[in-house]
């Protein structure tokens, strides 16, 4: 029974942390422009994150090494240092976007000042991290993130064309032409990237060590990675479907978090709107915590310093100071009034650029029989992981040019 509870909580935790600001707005914008036709990018990204999340959890358990220690070892100090700087800059930008999104959602819920809510939210999240251990942080925000199911219920209640949804799981051929074709490619890359954000695997591998997983927990690791990510992908698909049903026929481009939240509650009214606002607040809070902690994990693992949320702050002083600093700097960024949606666009596209340097070391260690022993990748996992890595490299090369020519995905 205890094992079943652990698996259930793990799945719920993966579900709660899967959907962040990027998925909520970016994916619904894709639906508003192209209907269901980009569901294939979501399906492809889901397969990719399942393969690599399971792999990084297994590597962390068997090799007793978190991801950034592996990055340092496999990429070398100089390139690894570049990855550390790039990853933590993206963590800061993403954390600032999540904090800004939380203040918007709470403003819609309460009517209070966004500036006050931004400060209060940051202080509250910092206090939660300081007072609670890793397991309770993970479970609280994972379980509360289940409120996002209201978006899936809303999508189903609007009676989408299930045949069209099934066809959209295959890549669209021929592609749209001209600016529409470039927009289509931009959103395909963005959806794929948003599902593979580096902080997810950094946090997940560190969490496996924080929770003292052993090789006996590898079955749980597989279930959490596969079912949790699949459930999260279903919620993300619901956002895209809502965009296609509500916004596409009306030629509306949802360019704010408030509009996307409203779409999730449209079929049911005020009570559903409150649930949607609470669900968004919970899942953005979980993402903000993950990015702040990931920044601290990355730095300490790279420098081989004591780290871990479950350690007393005095024993992991640099770790504690780093996640606090991440929150403070993110608060300053968000407090300047910069549009959180713009921050999200930057983090998704530039995040794509660093993904090859995150996932290559994971694949290399996972396939290394000397390090992994009998828990080495199967041939199928290595083949699929290699194919995914090739797609990641292609998408990384295309990300910034597409961002420039489409002006961050703006319709003409």
**DSSP-based three-state secondary structure for 118:** helix
Q: For residues 240 and 25, what is the distance between their CA atoms, to the nearest angstrom?
A: 9
The candidate with the shortest Cα–Cα distance to 43, out of 232, 180, 248, 201, is: 232
Domain boundaries, the chain: 2-405
DSSP 342-388: HHHHHHHHHHHHHHHHHHHHHHHHHT-HHHHGGGSPPHHHHHHHHHH
Give me the pLDDT at residue 280, please.
93
Pick the CATH number of 2-405 from 1.10.150.130, 3.40.50.2300, 1.20.1740.10, 1.10.3720.10: 1.20.1740.10
Contact 10/226 with Cβ under 8 angstroms? no
**Spatial distance between the Cα atoms of 328 and 409, rounded to a whole number of angstroms:** 30
Helix boundaries (H) for 149-269: 149-157, 162-168, 178-194, 198-210, 218-223, 229-242, 257-265
Count of other CB atoms within 10 angstroms of residue 239:
28
| Distance between CA atoms of residues 308 and 246, nearest Å | 44
Question: What one-character-per-residue DSSP string does 244-299 give?
Answer: IIIIGGGT----SHHHHHHHHHTTT-HHHHHHHHHHHHHHHHHHHHHHHHHHHHHH
| Tokens of residue 17, six digits | 């942390």
pLDDT tens for each residue of the chain, 412 residues long: 545 545 554 555 555 556 788 788 889 999 999 999 999 999 999 999 999 999 999 999 998 888 788 888 888 888 899 999 999 999 999 999 999 999 999 999 999 999 999 999 999 999 999 999 888 888 788 778 888 999 999 999 999 999 999 999 988 766 777 889 999 999 999 999 888 988 888 888 888 888 888 999 898 888 888 888 888 899 999 999 999 999 999 999 998 899 999 998 888 888 899 999 999 999 999 899 999 999 999 999 999 999 999 899 999 999 999 999 999 999 999 999 999 988 988 888 888 899 999 999 999 999 999 999 999 999 999 999 999 999 999 999 999 999 999 998 888 7
């Amino acid at each position: 029974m205890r094992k079943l509870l652990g698996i259930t909580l793990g799945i719920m935790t993966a579900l709660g942390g899967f959907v962040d600001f990027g998925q909520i707005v970016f994916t619904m914008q894709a639906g508003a422009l192209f209907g269901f036709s980009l569901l294939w990018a979501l399906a492809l990204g889901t397969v990719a994150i399942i393969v690599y999340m399971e792999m990084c959890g297994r590597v962390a358990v068997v090799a007793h090494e978190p991801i950034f220690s592996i990055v340092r070892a496999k990429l070398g100090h100089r390139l690894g240092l570049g990855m550390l700087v790039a990853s933590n800059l993206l963590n800061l930008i993403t954390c600032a976007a999540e904090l800004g999104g939380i203040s918007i959602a709470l403003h819609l819920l309460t009517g209070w000042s966004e500036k006050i809510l931004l400060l209060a939210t940051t202080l509250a999240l910092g206090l939660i991290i300081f007072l609670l251990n890793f397991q309770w942080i993970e479970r609280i925000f994972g379980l509360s993130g289940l409120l996002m199911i209201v978006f899936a219920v809303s999508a189903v209640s609007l009676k989408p064309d299930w045949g069209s949804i099934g066809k959209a799981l295959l890549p669209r051929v021929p592609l749209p032409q001209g600016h529409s074709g470039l927009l289509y490619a931009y959103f395909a890359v963005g959806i794929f990237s948003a599902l593979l954000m580096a902080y997810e695997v950094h946090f997940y591998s560190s969490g496996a060590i924080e929770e003292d997983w052993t090789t006996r927990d590898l079955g749980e690791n597989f279930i959490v990675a596969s079912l949790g990510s699949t459930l999260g992908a279903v919620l993300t698909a619901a956002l895209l479907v809502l965009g296609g049903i509500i916004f596409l026929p009306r030629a509306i481009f949802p360019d704010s978090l408030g509009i996307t939240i409203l779409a999730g509650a449209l079929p049911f009214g005020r009570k559903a709107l409150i649930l949607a606002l609470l669900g968004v607040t919970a899942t953005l809070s979980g993402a903000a915590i993950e990015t702040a902690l990931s920044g601290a994990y990355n730095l300490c693992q790279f420098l081989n310093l004591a780290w871990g949320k479950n350690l007393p702050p005095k024993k992991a002083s640099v770790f504690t100071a780093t996640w606090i600093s991440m929150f403070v700097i993110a608060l300053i960024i968000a407090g300047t009034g910069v549009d959180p949606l713009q921050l999200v666009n930057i983090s998704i596209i530039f995040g794509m650029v660093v993904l090859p340097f995150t996932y290559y070391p994971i694949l290399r260690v996972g396939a290394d029989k000397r390090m992994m022993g009998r828990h080495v990748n199967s041939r199928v996992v290595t083949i699929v992981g290699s194919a995914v890595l090739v797609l990641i490299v292609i998408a990384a090369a295309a990300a910034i040019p597409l961002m420039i020519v489409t002006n961050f995905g703006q319709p003409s």
